[in-house]
């Protein structure tokens, strides 16, 4: 199969493969990681990958939609030294690719590097060493017909210590050579959806780059119907709508969607959507708790995309009372309902805390009910880095739901995982009973690392080696120091 060199942005490396998988599925093709990857096995931590695709059109589709792709090149050769690269570039399969441009094609040649600055004099020397290619066309530095690029990749460890500008020049790990096919046109969307430039946002608004990655995981495209049950300020809705999907949003607190302007004015989510010219794709906004939702029919949405509240900036809540009413209080409520006063303020239903591990279990059950077959649930799950176990994710699953991607955004002591779960069944399920919890048949239930995350975050993470969770030290709360 034809091979293509992909140049990636060095951010969110763990999200790279899931994004490639999702976008290739969206457009109905598959790819393969090339074996000739310089001994690093297409390591997601490095900026270059060689992929095998059926044709150039597929490579261009990935460049136009993948947020992490900076550019795609027709792959010619690579090596740990220039001698290896030139030898590979003169093999028949490589020569066949570039020889068709020899006669009358204008070109430009670039020598560049990752994590290094190459001296101008050596750039000229490297270019002259490609003279065997014998290009007869015009050298055009402004508008060439083809752009030939040579990439030198240097170790990331070089960043850790101060060094002279050109120190270690030529001591690269790998060098790649190819012809530019297309620059990544999706990556500039990070600037377009920058939260700082948005007309309406809050302290829990998701950063633009991550919300775009989430949108790609949903396979957002024209004709699809998406839902955000924790809408907030709408950060996930805008990129999904930009890719052509219709969006419905809800939240237990309507003020998050409306903003400070009040109920009589246009909601803040709609004002921000107009900024991106996608307001016509926001179907509606509603205020309700998903554990008391109004959906009477399942199998409606193609995907759920959401960032559930986990308590760091806003605590998760659901309808209900923290304490049961006394008989006297119940009697007073009954009298008030029967004899309402005309000057009464609008009733605001009481809420109670919603423990994160219960929330995500309920979210998966709800997704199984409301999603179409093959629909996706895409959400973030915070977790404690040292205590995370793979089984933590599977404790929230139910029949008919399967994890297809799990990517970590690491913040040190804790991180958040972008989880993608697919509905793999076409069986119809009734509305879930959120109060019911799975029985353990007398066996101790596994305690996931994200349980009681809010308390652990604010009071600090500490390992108590006198107790264990599934054979590992348990995370418990630090005792607050007295002043």
Length of the chain: 483
As a whole number of angstroms, the distance between CA 205 and CA 257 comes to 11
As a whole number of angstroms, the distance between CA 133 and CA 298 comes to 62
- Collapsed DSSP state (helix, strand, coil) of residue 422: strand
The answer to whether the CB of 252 falls within 8 A of the CB of 289 is yes
pLDDT at position 442: 47
Q: Which of 237, 258, 371 is nearest to 307 (CA)?
A: 237
Sequence-distant (6+) residues with CB within 8 A of 265 are: 258
Helix axes 208-217, 16-26, angle to 10 degrees: 50
Q: Which of 58, 55, 51, 56 is nearest to 6 (CA)?
A: 51
Burial of 268 (0-12, 13-18, 19+ CB in 10 A): buried
Q: Hey, what domains does the chain have and what are their CATH numbers?
A: 3-186 (3.30.2130), 190-434+449-457 (3.40.50.150)
For the entire predicted model, the pTM comes to 0.86
Tell me the two tokens of residue 480.
């607050």
Task: State how far the alpha carbon of 422 is from the alpha carbons of 38, 218, 234, in Å.
Answer: 34, 10, 23
As a whole number of angstroms, the distance between CA 265 and CA 253 comes to 17
Q: What is the mean pLDDT of each run of 10 residues along the chain (483 residues)?
A: 94 95 97 70 81 96 98 96 96 95 95 92 95 94 95 78 76 95 96 94 90 98 96 94 97 85 79 96 93 91 92 63 66 71 67 79 94 97 86 90 94 91 94 66 66 72 44 36 33
Task: State how far the alpha carbon of 178 is from the alpha carbons of 78, 99, 405, 444, 480, in Å.
Answer: 9, 13, 31, 57, 58
> Rg for the chain (alpha carbons), in Å?
27
- For the chain, the distance separating the N- and C-terminal CA atoms, rounded to the nearest angstrom, is 67
Beta bridge partners of 74: 4, 179
Task: State how far the alpha carbon of 11 is from the alpha carbons of 182, 242, 264, 411, 412, in Å.
Answer: 20, 22, 42, 13, 15
pLDDT at position 189: 97
* pLDDT single digits (tens) 9-65: 999 999 999 999 999 999 999 999 987 654 445 677 889 999 999 999 999 999 999
The answer to whether the CB of 62 falls within 8 A of the CB of 72 is yes
Tell me the two tokens of residue 435.
């109060």
CA angle 407–412–414, rounded 5-degree value: 65
- Collapsed DSSP state (helix, strand, coil) of residue 466: strand
Q: Which of 335, 449, 337, 304 is nearest to 382 (CA)?
A: 449
Q: How far is CA 25 from the centre of its chain?
A: 16
As a whole number of angstroms, the distance between CA 269 and CA 257 comes to 6
pLDDT at position 473: 38
Q: How far is CA 16 from the centre of its chain?
A: 9
pLDDT at position 253: 84
Q: Phi, psi at residue 393, to the nearest 5°?
A: -70, -35
* pLDDT single digits (tens) 282-310: 999 999 988 889 999 999 999 999 998 87
- Collapsed DSSP state (helix, strand, coil) of residue 271: helix
The answer to whether the CB of 232 falls within 8 A of the CB of 257 is yes
């Amino acid at each position: 199969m034809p091979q293509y060199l992909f140049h990636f942005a060095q951010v969110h490396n763990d999200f790279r493969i899931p994004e490639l998988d999702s976008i290739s599925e969206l457009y109905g093709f598959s790819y393969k990681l090339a074996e000739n990857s310089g001994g690093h096995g297409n390591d997601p931590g490095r900026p270059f990958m060689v992929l095998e695709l059926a044709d150039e059109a597929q490579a261009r589709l990935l460049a136009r939609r993948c947020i992490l792709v900076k550019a795609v090149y027709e792959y010619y050769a690579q090596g740990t030294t220039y001698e290896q690269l030139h030898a590979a570039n003169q093999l028949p399969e490589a020569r066949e690719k570039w020889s068709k441009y020899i006669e009358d094609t204008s070109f430009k040649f670039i020598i560049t590097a990752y994590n290094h600055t190459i001296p101008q004099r050596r750039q000229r020397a490297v270019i002259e060493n490609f003279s065997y290619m014998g290009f007869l066309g015009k050298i055009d530095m402004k508008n060439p017909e083809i752009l030939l690029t040579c990439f030198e990749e240097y170790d990331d460890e070089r960043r850790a210590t101060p060094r002279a500008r050109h120190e270690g020049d030529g001591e690269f790990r790998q060098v790649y050579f190819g012809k530019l096919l297309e620059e990544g046109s999706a990556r500039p969307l990070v600037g377009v959806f920058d939260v700082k430039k948005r007309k309406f946002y809050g302290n829990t608004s998701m950063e633009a780059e991550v919300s775009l990655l989430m949108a790609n995981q949903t396979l957002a495209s024209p004709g699809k119907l998406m839902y955000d049950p924790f809408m907030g300020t709408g950060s996930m809705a805008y990129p999904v709508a930009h890719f052509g999907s219709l969006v419905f949003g809800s939240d237990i607190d309507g003020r998050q969607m409306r903003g400070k302007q009040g109920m009589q004015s246009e909601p803040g989510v709609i004002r921000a959507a107009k900024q991106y010219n996608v307001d016509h794709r926001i179907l509606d906004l509603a205020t309700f708790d998903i554990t008391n939702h109004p959906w009477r029919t399942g199998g409606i949405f193609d995907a759920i995309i959401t960032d559930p509240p986990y308590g760091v900036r806003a605590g998760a809540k659901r309808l209900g009372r923290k304490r049961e009413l006394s008989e006297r209080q119940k009697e007073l409520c009954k009298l008030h309902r029967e004899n309402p006063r005309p000057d009464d303020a609008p009733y605001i239903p009481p809420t109670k805390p919603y423990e994160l591990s219960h929330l995500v279990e309920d979210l998966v059950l709800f997704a199984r009910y409301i999603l179409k077959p093959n629909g996706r649930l895409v959400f973030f799950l915070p977790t404690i880095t040292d205590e995370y176990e793979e089984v933590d994710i599977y404790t929230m699953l139910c029949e008919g739901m399967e994890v297809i991607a799990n990517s970590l955004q690491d913040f040190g002591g804790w991180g958040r995982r972008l989880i993608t779960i697919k509905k793999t069944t076409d069986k119809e399920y009734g509305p879930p009973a959120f109060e019911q919890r799975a029985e353990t048949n007398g066996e101790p239930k596994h305690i996931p690392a994200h349980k009681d995350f809010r308390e652990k975050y604010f009071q600090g993470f500490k390992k108590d080696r006198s107790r264990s969770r599934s054979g590992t030290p348990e995370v418990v709360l630090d005792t607050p120091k007295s002043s």
